[in-house]
Structure 1
């Protein structure tokens, strides 16, 4: 399986008419992602920018609930359902791989699908018939530690599991829609593109670990919760070179999604 980093957009946008028009490119491209896979995945492992914990924590629910972790949206967006099953078996496999690499883990039987999960997967697999497991970030946000987690998870790719990091390449809530944010997002995006496209995985991982040295880094990500899932994906990519699958432009900033391998 390839591995994906997806810029998932703002809130429950596919369920809000005005926003859906803004994200027309993202909608089209998310729907096309399954065709890039060599086979239908047995399960999906999502590292979402909306879940962090003191240790890397895996969701174990057989029927995960919903997490409406947004505010100010129409009332119907708090009744969205994405009834994909969980996979306790995959959850235990993830824990075994991480613990085998010396990485402390936990589990959460109550964690459900936030919009960083149900938005892309709802477009990729609208029938909600592919099992989904979530893996939290660690609240330290150490990029090297998250790359190491991805490296430990590489065997899943040969076991039919699709690994997705869900976040954004630009995530400054005060910057969206402002003219001055465009050059910031472009400069930081260019740095990410350069890192992702490296033919040497070690060089790529070093550049990503040193992301704060990039132009506009802290203006693009005052808090790096939506960037850190990319570190896990890069680690899982191993030696596979990455490429931008597409770039959408919304609220005056570019938002890129990447694929590695496959």
Structure 2
């Protein structure tokens, strides 16, 4: 398959909790929070241009495994891994099929790269999966296989996992990494001007790293992300929501990344990227 026919790799922001299914008041600027993210996610199917046979998804909400772990369930259930939201958000359903076949293929590829891989038949769709996918593929008609992060959350390992998965792009598989480029829950609703500047600087730095033409330079920058003076202020208490972008960048191979979405929540930007 030519490069023009292979599927891209995406890093998408999945927003806050079950946000598409709640009512938010407009802010002082007249905008409703997350509305721009909703429009972006609803347009992804058209932007990609064709349907994959399956989606491999890395969510910032599956991080507790000692090794990367594939979901093998044929029909995953729902995991409402959020608290304090309206009752109806705990009744959401996304009946997409799993893909044991893709799980087996991904496991083979990662093992061939010298890494151990686990399996889980019990893992259900967490909200980093089902919330955005209810907008991307609302009919739940594309199978989804989930891949966990390793609990070390280090960039080098996850870049390597991504590199191992790159061949899937030539096998009609769409790789989607789901997280947030900004995820400081302690400051999310703060209007602190200095913190907003930190968030803006880090998002711009991350975009510059993703968009590097040189793959080696991109990997080096992402691997040293913690050295950025604003990085740790943007990812508190840990950086689980940033890790999926490392997998995406690894699976991109030599394809340069491009920012295809930029949203803002109370002055803090968050971005989405496409490789290929």
Q: How does the TM-score come out when normalised to structure 2?
A: 0.92
CA deviations on 1:162-207 (whole Å, 9 max, x unpaired) are 1011000010101112123311110110110110110111111110
Q: CA deviation at 1:19?
A: 7.3
Gaps of 5+ in 1: none
- The answer to whether structure 1 residue 17 and structure 2 residue 23 are counterparts is yes
Question: What does residue 262 of structure 2 align with?
Answer: 247
- The answer to whether structure 1 residue 173 and structure 2 residue 179 are counterparts is no
Q: CA deviation at 1:252?
A: 2.5
CA deviations on 1:114-153 (whole Å, 9 max, x unpaired) are 1110111110100000000000000011110100000000
Q: Is the 8 A contact 2:191 2:266 kept in 1?
A: no
Matches of 1:120 and 1:135, distance apart in 2: 16
More helix by share: 1
How many residues of Structure 1 are paired with residues of Structure 2 in the alignment? 261
- The answer to whether structure 1 residue 146 and structure 2 residue 158 are counterparts is yes
Q: CA deviation at 1:251?
A: 2.9
Q: CA deviation at 1:38?
A: 4.4
CA deviations on 1:28-86 (whole Å, 9 max, x unpaired) are 01111112224211100110000021110000000001010000000011111000000
Gaps of 5+ in 2: 1-6, 27-31
Q: Is the 8 A contact 2:98 2:145 kept in 1?
A: yes
Question: What does residue 48 of structure 1 align with?
Answer: 59
RMSD: 1.1
- The answer to whether structure 1 residue 73 and structure 2 residue 101 are counterparts is no
SS of equivalent residue, structure 2 residue 168:
helix
CA distance 1:152–1:19, change in 2 (3 Å): farther
Runs of 4+ in 1 over 6 A off after TM superposition: none
Q: How does the TM-score come out when normalised to structure 1?
A: 0.97
SS of equivalent residue, structure 1 residue 40:
coil
Matches of 1:260 and 1:29, distance apart in 2: 16
Matches of 1:221 and 1:246, distance apart in 2: 19
- The answer to whether structure 1 residue 87 and structure 2 residue 102 are counterparts is no
